[in-house]
Structure 1
Amino acid sequence: MKMQLELKNVTLQSGDKLKLKGEILHDAERFRIDLGVNSEDLALHFNPRFHDDADGAVLVYNSKTAGCWGSEGREMHNPLQRGSNVKMFLKLSGDGFEVELPGGQKLTFPNRTNMNVITYIHVGGDFKLKSFKIYKSS
């Protein structure tokens, strides 16, 4: 069962962190976590794929401005597994995003749009979200 979570009017600033816990579906093709100001302006589009036509299991990231996608980045080492329970952290750190995956893998993606405040969060695809928490920096 595919799920979607869409939050509007949240306030994430530099130093704030999201924690997501959930289950990647057994037949998962992909899921996404989007951070931005709305669905047309995304500072981070994080898109784990489990059967990408070009690269197989890969982590894809991108940004979107006024509905136009930027150049796609790819991380070839995808530690996420179909059918597994996972805990992930996403942190806004001014000029980039830090993503911490299971097994201690940490990735850094650029904040190409230079968004200082995130007000929109979307989670969707082949992922069953079980827990979601925002940690505000002090």
Structure 2
Amino acid sequence: MSMQLELKNACLRAGDQLKVKGIILHDAERFQIDLGCGADDLALHFNPRFHDDADGAVLVCNSKTDGCWGDEKRDIHNPLQRGSDVKIVLKLTGDMFEVELPDGQEVQFPNRESFDIISYIRIAGDFKLTSLKIC
């Protein structure tokens, strides 16, 4: 059973962190954490996939502007495991997003559109959210 949470009036700025805790479902195909100004304007689309047709288990990052996707960044080192409890920390540094994974791996993705404020957060997919913290 996939879930979806949307926050539409958040206010994250450079230096802020979003801490997401939850359980990846046992039969998970994928989930996503989106940061931006709305569903059609995403500064970061963080999308772990557990059975991607091209690469198997892969971490995909992308951005979306006016409803159009940019070029995907794919990382074939996906330490996330189906059925596991995870804590993912998303850090906003201004010109970059840093995603810290449970094994200490860090995925970096550029803030392509230079968003100053992130007002939209969406967490969706094969994931059971247990905690969300902005600090």
On whether the aligned pair clears a TM of 0.5, the verdict is yes
Q: Which letter maps to 1:52?
A: D
Residue 123 (structure 1) aligns with: 123
State the Cα deviation string for residues 17-55 of structure 1 (Å, max 9, x = none).
000000000000000000000000000000000000000
**Quick one: distance in 2 between partners of 1:67 and 1:108?**
22
Residue 114 (structure 2) aligns with: 114
**Quick one: distance in 2 between partners of 1:37 and 1:113?**
11
Q: Secondary structure at the match of 1:13?
A: coil
State the Cα deviation string for residues 103-129 of structure 1 (Å, max 9, x = none).
111111111111010000000000000
Runs of 4+ residues over 2 Å off in structure 1: none
**Quick one: distance in 1 between partners of 2:68 and 2:107?**
24
**Quick one: distance in 2 between partners of 1:43 and 1:103?**
24
Residue 8 (structure 2) aligns with: 8
Residue 12 (structure 1) shift: 0.2
**Quick one: distance in 1 between partners of 2:74 and 2:46?**
10
Residue 59 (structure 1) aligns with: 59
Unaligned runs of 5+ in 1: none
Residue 48 (structure 1) aligns with: 48
Q: Which letter maps to 1:111?
A: N
Residue identity over aligned pairs, in percent, reads 70
Q: Secondary structure at the match of 1:12?
A: coil
Residue 104 (structure 2) aligns with: 104
Alignment: residue pair count: 135
Unaligned runs of 5+ in 2: none
**Quick one: distance in 1 between partners of 2:122 and 2:104?**
24
Given the two structures, how large is their TM-score scaled by the length of structure 2?
0.99
**Quick one: distance in 2 between partners of 1:114 and 1:9?**
19
